[in-house]
Amino acid sequence: MDWSNLFSMQKQLDKYIETKQDVTGKDLFEEKYLALLVELGELANETRCFKFWSTKPKSDQDVILAEYVDGIHFILSLGLDKGFNYQTKTLHTPKCTETEQFNLVFEMCVAFKNEPTQTNYEKIVERYLQLGNLLGFDENDIYRAYVKKNEINYERQDGGY
């Protein structure tokens, strides 16, 4: 995946949003961190992986992918805020359930918030990519969906979202 392009696109989007919302220069780490957690929850809700009490099926893959890339947006943005980046690595396919992988991602988010280091940042990205793999997405799916959602985010800002 072309991470440098994704970081560049996210940097431009962040600047655009911060200008439109008149928050340029403000520390938005707490807001972006909470937004990432909310997006993770929304993604889990669409997969329904934890809803052992329900027989309702998970959402369509396109809905799940759209929620997934919302998380990518905030992960990239948090990395930019802290001056961190990510380079593609070969990741193993996790041998756990979707629910367990979601919990690992949440745990890494907390670790990153408490200790925002490059290493902890890379772990968030890696756990999140592994989650995407469990959900059936490859890097091409993620990249294309990110680009599409990035365009939608600009349209939303222009529309007074």
pLDDT tens digit string along 102-124?
999 999 999 999 999 999 999 99
Band of residue 101 on the pLDDT scale cut at 50, 70, 90: very high
Please identify which residue in the block is written with the tokens 């997969």.
47
State the alpha helices, DSSP H only, in 26-117: 29-47, 61-82, 98-114
Q: What is the pLDDT of residue 153?
A: 87
Q: Distance (Å, rounded) from C-alpha 135 to C-alpha 65?
A: 9
The answer for residues whose C-beta is within 8 angstroms of residue 159's C-beta and 6 or more apart is none
Structure-derived torsion over alpha carbons of residues 51, 56, 61, 63, reported in degrees to the nearest 10? -80
Q: Which of 137, 132, 146 is nearest to 101 (CA)?
A: 132
Q: How far apart are CA 92 and CA 90, in angstroms?
A: 7
**Cβ neighbours, 10 Å, residue 139:** 14
Averaged confidence pLDDT in the chain:
95
Task: Return the amino acid letter for 114.
Answer: N
Summarised one tens digit per residue, pLDDT across range 44-79 is 999 999 999 999 999 999 999 999 999 999 999 999
What ranges do the domains of the chain cover? 3-20+28-158
pLDDT for 117 equals: 98
pLDDT for residue 159: 82
Compute the distance between CA of residue 81 and CA of residue 27 in angstroms, rounded to an integer: 8
Residue 160 pLDDT > 80: no
3-state secondary structure of 36: helix
- Tell me the pLDDT band of 92, cut-offs 50, 70 and 90: confident
Percent of the chain with pLDDT over 70: 100
Q: Which of 26-30, 43-47, 60-64, 157-161 has the lowest average pLDDT?
A: 157-161
CATH number of 3-20+28-158: 1.10.4010.10
Percentage helix, strand, coil, to 5, in the chain? 70, 0, 30
